[in-house]
Chains A and B, each alone.
Chain A
Amino acid sequence: MQVHRPATLDEALQLMQRPDARPQPIAGGTDLLVSWHHRAKESVRLMDMSRLEELRTLRLTNESLEIGALATYWDVITSAEISETFPLLAQAAKQVGAMQIQTRGTWAGNIGNGSPAADGVPVLMAYDATVTLASSRGRRDVALCDYWTGYKKSVKADDELIVGIRVPRRACDFEWFHKVGARAAQAITKVGVAMVHSADGWRVTANSVAPFVCRCRAMEAALDRGEVFQGPDDVRQVISRDVSPIDDLRSTAAYRLAVLSRLVFFRMSGHL
């Protein structure tokens, strides 16, 4: 095993430039550790991000929340100001694994790992977050909802690092997140949904129901039109156009679609 420990971001981006010896970045390590026992070979090359102090930022300005690549779930949970401004971020963070994971796991790592079940992503996406990617070639911002192109595939180039996430501040009159796991803690999401309403309209995002965490645009449009749903089946008719759940070890496609529809229906029928 080889471990690089860059002291500056420039140094880290240099290391990412080498196509034949590109290291795997490691921040909280919570995803790498899970796969460690099943690693395909013994020789691995890691890049420890922990010395990159500039990525540790977590800053709330008048315009946005800036989440550095090393900011953890716990950092958000323990910030009263952020929890109040973006309540769904704190709610989702508290349901990631358990305290041990929350104190190590990073928001950026959750995006970088690219799991369709990522718990931090639906709420970021519902708040219209953007991802900042950096390489030796420069920086660019990508809307989180446009970040993935397929299962564990994204627009991020091989030499790019996720260096931060920006979440715009805006007044919301509806914010809701619901995670369905197989148990009350230490569970991977079987179905998750986040909903936000602001002057920019509805945002509905869901995880574990598609190859990547996605916006449910048909549902958003229906809500923006003021459509009224008589039962869970009405919701299903619309939202089934947004998602493509599968059968896997953790659940079934039928369950995921039914539960997503029921959660949205019962929440909206209580609200409207």
Chain B
Amino acid sequence: MSIGTNTIRVDGCAKLTGAAMYVDDLTLPGMLHGATIRTPIARGRIKKIHFDPAINWSEFVVVDHRDIPGGNAVALIERDQPALVASEFRHKHEAVLLIANASVHKLRDAVRAIRLEVEPLPAILDARATARPEQIQHGADNVLKRLTIHKGDPGAVFASAPHVIEGTYHTGAQEHVYLETQGMLAHRENGRMVVRGSMQCPYYVLDSLTHAFGWPREAFSVVQAAVGGGFGGKEDYPSNIAIHAALLAEKAGAPVKLVYDRQEDMAATTKRHPSWVRHRTAVDKDGRLLAMEIEVMLDGGAYVTLSPVVLSRGCIHSSGPYFCEHIHIHGEARLTNSMPYGAFRGFGAPQTIFAMERHMDVIGSRIGVDPVELRRRNFLRDGQTMATGQIYRDGTDLVALMDRTLREADYHAKRKSHASFNATHPYLRRGIGIASFHHGSGFTGGGETKLASEVWVEGMPDGSVEVQTAQTDMGQGTSTILAQVAADALEMSPGGVLVATPDTARVPNSGPTVASRTAMVVGKLTHRAAEDLSKQLGGVRGPSITGAIRAWHAANPGKNLVGRAKYEKPATIVWNDATYQGDAYASYSWATYVAEVEVDLRTYATRVTDFVAAQEVGRVLNPTLARGQVQGGVVQGIGWAIYEDVVLEDGAMKNCQMTNYIIPASADLPPIRVFFEETPSPYGPGGAKGIGEMPIDGPAPAVVNAISAAVGMSIDAIPVTPERLMERLDGAHG
């Protein structure tokens, strides 16, 4: 059995020794370097482009929108975002021109020698503001997506409820800060345009190239280079860079590499959606949730990109892991003239879970019920329904999971000791906070059915087994767990299974590497494809499979031995996209996290001093990798909660440097103690569920609940930077 073991990561050695080739390490004979000329303001129209005559422009390849052979759009959910600005533009740092040269020095001089003359148009920079007619850029009202989830009859309950408690909670934008910045290398090879680079979703890139060039899919090969982190930031934006690199390469007739430096990457690429979530909740005297009204607003930025689905996941998770009979959720994602907000680990859920879990503490303190008790009384129990009417039948005991976290964190004893510490210390204040939450695995609603993912497991002529998927390993361990899953099905050692580098010319479309779907959905397909391979060999498994594969090839020269599996919707999963009713996700993972903090009232700085993360994620495929995923997500969540502040100016990130956009360093972090409960899920290989995103859902509310406890005041917006905490505390003191 290779599932559940700490198989050493298959990409580990190459990354450790520096042998792994990231896109910026790649070079080709005659290769040019590309650069991007961008819009200077939030909204406007290009009037003229000035090329400084001091530069010999004949030495440069210059591409503009007229060089796009197909549709001038980055095709995603909609086609509203131009690949290159033709005239009007909607945010600062949109790509207008591309230039290339063999010398990076000449290229830099040339970038400085191009000036865009623009005519400003009225921009809208605040998603909460009502757009004036001249600011409308999408539909009738700039709303990119709105949706409603309705259960029961909340209106009637509010009228007679013992308590009605309201609160509004805000979360800020967040930058991904993957270690490797984005980039692509495009060149012609054997009649195809080969685009190689840093990405999460090779088939998304292929679709966007196909649209922009108007060429058939076979004209391209999209290949993953080693990827240094993604976190959602490489879900949609790599399509833009791929189109740009390919346009330059096509016009130059030479390979072109387009790699962003950190500043350009932070300035131009997507961020986590800022949110404002308003809760109005009816509770009885014991704190039972009687009715909930939730309004979710996301700032979507300048184009639709992925906002509709981010909003969808956010709304579905907005009522937490609790049972409530009467729920009304309304969500809107609105256009602003900011860089498009895009996918980021958690995909809308961290925003709404922050609001829900802060609101639970607010309810508790308002009606005098302990926050732990309040959660205990309201957790979903088997047979109860969630906001979309989905019946909870997971088998996970949420109360027991919370109690485990509290025990490991020594929660009750610490609360007592903090009270006496805070009463006597001149300037330090300690607090402990809790957050309980869930995260759906895989695409929302009917998404997986639409994706119709496919996986192949091939027996190669030399007797080896290769897993072929479009899943990218960006450091999270995808290749390793898929090798483990295939090895498990074939009863061989994971070392005997190769995992193909995603290349759209040779791997099937198993869907994007997003949405905590790889382990559960693609893992299950991998298991089935491996079983199919074994079936084609007459059911052979174990060490003798190598010989059986070789024998098959000897008997069938020139043919391919491929086990296949295609996604089939489980019959028990029913979703209605029109009414937003039904099984929003096949499976959910569940968690309770506890954070302990110390606030220094000299500097208003918060330090997280201890962290316990207990979760139920189905079967854990690889404990070491799973623990790494949780610890990494917790760090990113702590960063979002108290350090990371995207400063916007004219709708663009102003602090686009790592010295001024603060992510926590290891010296800032507490021990992060990770615990797993395992309730096997029928939908994943060996019972696995999703794990990648959930760890970022809980830290922010747990940390801010702890800060609120420490300073004795409700803190409702993140990031809680020292400057903001000072304003909040001093403002309240008068």
Are B659 and A258 touching (Cβ within 8 A)?
no
CB of B478, distance to nearest CB on chain A (Å): 30
1/0 contact string of B650-666 vs chain A (CB within 8 Å) = 00001100011010111
A254 neighbours in B (Cβ, 8 Å): 726
In Å, the complex CA distance between A42 and B113 comes to 12
B112: chain A residues at CB < 8 Å are 41
A186 CB within 8 Å of chain B: yes
| A218 in the interface (beta carbon within 8 A) | no
Is A185 in the interface zone, CB < 8 Å from B?
yes
Closest A residue to B665 by beta carbon equals: A185
- Are the CB atoms of A184 and B109 closer together than 8 Å? no
- Taking a contact as CB atoms under 8 Å apart, the answer to whether B660 and A249 are in contact is yes
Chain A interfacial residues counted at CB < 8 A: 27
Contact present for B665 and A263 (CB under 8 Å) = no
Q: A225 in the interface, Cβ–Cβ < 8 Å? A: no
- Cβ contact of A184, chosen from B263, B602, B667, B726, cutoff 8 A: B667
A151 lies within 8 A of chain B by Cβ: no
List chain B residues, Cβ under 8 A from A42.
105, 108-109
Bound form: Cα–Cα A270–B668 in Å: 26
Flag if A188 contacts B664 (CB, 8 Å).
no
Q: Is A182 an interface residue (CB 8 A)?
A: yes
User: For residue A185, which residues in chain B have a CB less than 8 angstroms away from its CB?
Assistant: 665-668
Shortest beta-carbon distance from B77 to chain A in Å = 34
Residue B40 CB within 8 A of the other chain: no
- Given known pairs A183-B664, A249-B660, the reply for A263 and B654 (CB within 8 Å) is no
Which A residues between 183 and 201 are near B, CB-CB below 8 angstroms? Answer: 183-188, 191
Query: If A37-B261, A180-B603, A259-B603 touch, does A186 touch B665 (CB 8 Å cutoff)?
Result: yes
Chain B residues with Cβ under 8 A from A251's Cβ?
723
Interface of chain A, main secondary structure: loop
Q: Kindly provide the distance from the CB of A135 to the nearest chain B CB, expressed in whole angstroms.
A: 33
Considering only residues 707-730 of chain B, those with a C-beta below 8 Å from chain A are: 721-723, 726, 730
Contact B723 A252 (CB under 8 A): yes
Q: Please indicate the chain B residues that have their CB under 8 angstroms from the CB of A270 in the complex.
A: 426
Mask, B589-624, CB within 8 Å of A = 1, is 000000000000111110100000000000000000
B421 in the interface, Cβ–Cβ < 8 Å?
A: no
Question: Across the interface, do B109 and A180 meet the contact criterion of CB distance under 8 Å?
Answer: no
Residues of A within 8 A of B215 (CB): none
Which residues does chain B contribute within 8 Å of A258, judged by CB atoms? Answer: 726, 730
Question: Quick check: B723 and A255 within 8 Å, CB to CB?
Answer: yes
Q: A188 and B659: CB pair below 8 A?
A: yes
For residue B116, CB closer than 8 A to chain A, the reply is no
Q: Which of A185, A187, A249 has the most CB of B within 10 A?
A: A249
A262 at interface, CB cutoff 8 A = yes
Enumerate chain B residues within 8 angstroms of A41, measured Cβ to Cβ.
109, 112
Instruction: Give the distance in Å from the alpha carbon of A38 to the alpha carbon of B659 in the complex.
Output: 14
B427: chain A residues at CB < 8 Å are: 262, 266
Known A34-B659, A180-B605, A262-B601; contact A255-B722, beta-carbon cutoff 8 A:
yes
B647 touches A262 (CB 8 A): no
Q: Which of chain A's residues 2-37 have a Cβ closer than 8 Å to chain B?
A: 34, 37
For the complex, give the distance between the alpha carbons of A41 and B111 in Å: 11
> In whole angstroms, what is the CA distance A183 to B665 when docked?
7
Which residues of A lie under 8 Å from residue B654 when comparing CB positions?
249
Nearest-CB residue, chain A, relative to B109: A42
Given A34-B659, A37-B261, A262-B603, check contact A184 B668 (CB 8 Å).
Answer: yes
Q: A250 within 8 Å of B by Cβ?
A: yes
Query: B643 on the interface (CB 8 Å rule)?
Result: yes
Residues of chain B within 8 A (CB-CB) of A188 are 659
Contact status A183-B667, CB under 8 Å: yes
Q: Which of A37, A180, A184, A249 lies in contact with B665, CB distance below 8 A?
A: A184
Contacts A187-B662, A249-B647, A249-B655; A37 near B263 (Cβ below 8 A): yes
Pairwise interchain contact A259-B108, C-beta atoms closer than 8 A: no
Please, how many residues of chain B have a CB less than 8 angstroms from a CB on the other chain? 31
Cα A93 to Cα B611 in complex, Å, equals 31
Give B93 Cβ to nearest chain A Cβ, in Å.
16
Chain A: CB-nearest residue to B659:
A188
B115 to chain A, nearest CB (A): 15
Measured between beta carbons, the chain B residues less than 8 angstroms from A37 are: 261, 263
B374-433 residues with Cβ-Cβ distance < 8 A to A are 426-427
Cβ-neighbour of A259 out of B602, B647, B665 (below 8 A): B602
Instruction: Give A244-272 interface residues, CB cut-off 8 Å to B.
Output: 249-252, 254-255, 258-259, 262-263, 266, 269-270
Render A212-255 as a binary contact track against B, CB cut-off 8 A, 1 for contact. Answer: 00000000000000000000000000000000000001111011
B662 A182 Cβ-Cβ under 8 A: yes
Q: Is the CB of B662 within 8 A of A183?
A: yes
Residues of B within 8 A of A184 (CB): 607, 665, 667-668
Distance A37 CA – B261 CA, assembled complex (angstroms): 9
A269 to B723, CA, bound (A): 24
- Give Cα A233–Cα B4 distance, bound, in whole angstroms: 59
The residues of A that contact B666 with a CB separation of less than 8 Å are 185
B726 and A250 contacting across the interface, CB-CB below 8 Å:
no
Residues from chain A with Cβ under 8 Å of B723 in the complex? 251-252, 255
CB-based nearest A residue for B427: A266
* A248 CA / B662 CA spacing, docked (Å): 15
Question: A269 contacts which chain B residues (CB < 8 A)?
Answer: 426
CB distance from A217 to the nearest CB of B (A): 23
- A263 proximity list for chain B (CB < 8 A): 602-603
Chain A residue numbers with a CB within 8 Å of B109 are 41-42
Tell me, rounded to whole Å, the shortest Cβ–Cβ distance linking B671 to chain A.
15
Are B643 and A183 closer than 8 Å at their CB atoms? yes
B residues less than 8 Å from A187 (CB atoms)? 662
CB distance from A94 to the nearest CB of B (A): 12
Determine the chain A residues whose CB is within 8 A of the CB of B647 once the complex forms.
Answer: 249
Whether B602 pairs with A250 at a CB distance below 8 angstroms is no
**Nearest CB of A to B599, in Å:** 13
Residue of B nearest to A262 (CB): B602
Closest chain B residue to A264, Cβ basis: B602
Q: Give Cα distance in the complex from A187 to B665, angstroms.
A: 9
Tell which of B112, B426, B722 has the most Cβ of chain A within 10 Å.
B722
CB distance from B10 to the nearest CB of A (A): 31
Q: Which residues of A contact B664 (CB under 8 A)?
A: 183
Shortest C-beta distance, A54 to chain B (Å), equals 33
Q: Which chain B residue shows the least CB distance to A232?
A: B602
Cα of A255 to Cα of B725 in the assembled complex, Å:
10
Task: List B contacts of A186 (CB < 8 A).
Answer: 665
Q: Who on chain B is nearest to A42 by CB? A: B105
Cβ of A97 to closest chain B Cβ, rounded Å: 10
Q: Once the chains are docked, how many angstroms separate the CA of A155 from the CA of B647?
A: 36
Q: Find chain A residues with CB under 8 A from B722 CB.
A: 255, 259
Interfacial residues of chain B within 681-734, with CB under 8 A of chain A in the complex? 721-723, 726, 730
What chain B residues lie within 8 Å of A250 (beta carbons)? 660
Complex Cα distance, B723 from A182, in Å, reads 10
Contacting residues of chain B (343-380) with chain A, CB-CB under 8 angstroms: none
Q: In the bound complex, how far is the Cα of B730 from the Cα of A37, in angstroms? A: 40
Residues from chain B with Cβ under 8 Å of A183 in the complex = 643, 662, 664-665, 667-668
Chain A nearest Cβ from B454, distance in angstroms = 43
* Bound CA span A191–B604, Å: 12
Given contacts A182-B662, A183-B643, A185-B666, 20 further A-B contacts (CB under 8 A): A34-B659, A41-B112, A42-B105, A180-B603, A183-B667, A183-B668, A184-B668, A186-B665, A188-B659, A249-B660, A251-B723, A252-B723, A258-B726, A258-B730, A259-B602, A259-B726, A262-B427, A262-B603, A263-B603, A270-B426
Can you report 12 A-B residue pairs in the complex whose CB atoms are below 8 A from each other? A41-B109, A42-B105, A42-B109, A182-B721, A183-B662, A183-B665, A185-B666, A251-B723, A255-B726, A259-B726, A262-B601, A263-B602
List the 8 closest pairs (A to B, CB-CB), nearest first: A184-B667, A185-B667, A182-B662, A262-B602, A255-B723, A184-B668, A185-B665, A42-B105
Chain B residues within 8 Å of A, Cβ to Cβ: 105, 108-109, 112, 261, 263, 426-427, 601-605, 607, 643, 647, 654-655, 659-660, 662, 664-668, 721-723, 726, 730
Task: Using CB atoms and an 8 Å cutoff, list the residues of chain A in contact with chain B.
Answer: 34, 37-38, 41-42, 180, 182-188, 191, 249-252, 254-255, 258-259, 262-263, 266, 269-270
